[in-house]
Amino acid sequence: MLAQDRGPNSDAIPQSHSREHVSVYTVNSEPLFFQHFDSPFYPTLRLLHKYPYILPKVQVDRGAIRFLLAGAHMMCPGMTSKGGRLPPAEEQVPAEHMVAIHAEGKEHAVGVGITKLSTEDMKKINKGVGVETATYLGDDLWALQTL
């Protein structure tokens, strides 16, 4: 259930609220960013598909896709296996950094999340949650086309 708040300035980016404490920011009724409580502003997958280079990329193997599409966080082994991919050494991503989650064999991002470990540590430790999923293909935010 979303309620829209346009505010006094008509040029402002409209903000909508849901009962799950998620704010969705739109331009011309198109959802572009979202925020849960006071978390960072995340781009929607639709925005990320238009501008794929705004976030660093990680890739999970085919075996992790069904878990991601069910809302699970991404485990390190799914990104360090043969079908997974982490950025090269010169492009390491630190812990607590936003990333686009790609899936083996797919062109566009299938999720957005926050790294729980640096990508260097994901390779070294290779266990536990590597990326905490914030949104994924098929979730309620993806289903929301326009407000």
Q: pLDDT tens digits for the chain (147 residues)?
A: 344 444 444 445 555 555 567 888 888 888 899 998 888 999 999 999 999 999 999 999 999 999 999 999 999 999 999 999 999 989 999 999 999 999 999 999 999 999 999 999 999 999 999 999 999 999 988 887 655
Stated pTM of the model: 0.85
At 3 the pLDDT is: 44
At 2 the pLDDT is: 43
d(CA 69, CA 92): 25
At 38 the pLDDT is: 82
At 59 the pLDDT is: 98
Strand order across the 129-136 sheet:
57-60, 98-103, 111-115, 129-136, 74-75
- Cross-strand partners of 27: 30
CATH number of 15-143: 3.10.400.20
Q: Within 19-143, where are the H helices?
A: 45-50, 62-68, 76-80, 119-125, 140-143
CB-count exposure of residue 93 (10 Å: 0-12, 13-18, 19+): buried
d(CA 63, CA 83): 9
Taking CA atoms, 85 is separated from 1, 45, 113, 124, 128, in Å, by: 37, 20, 15, 14, 16
At 13 the pLDDT is: 56
At 29 the pLDDT is: 82
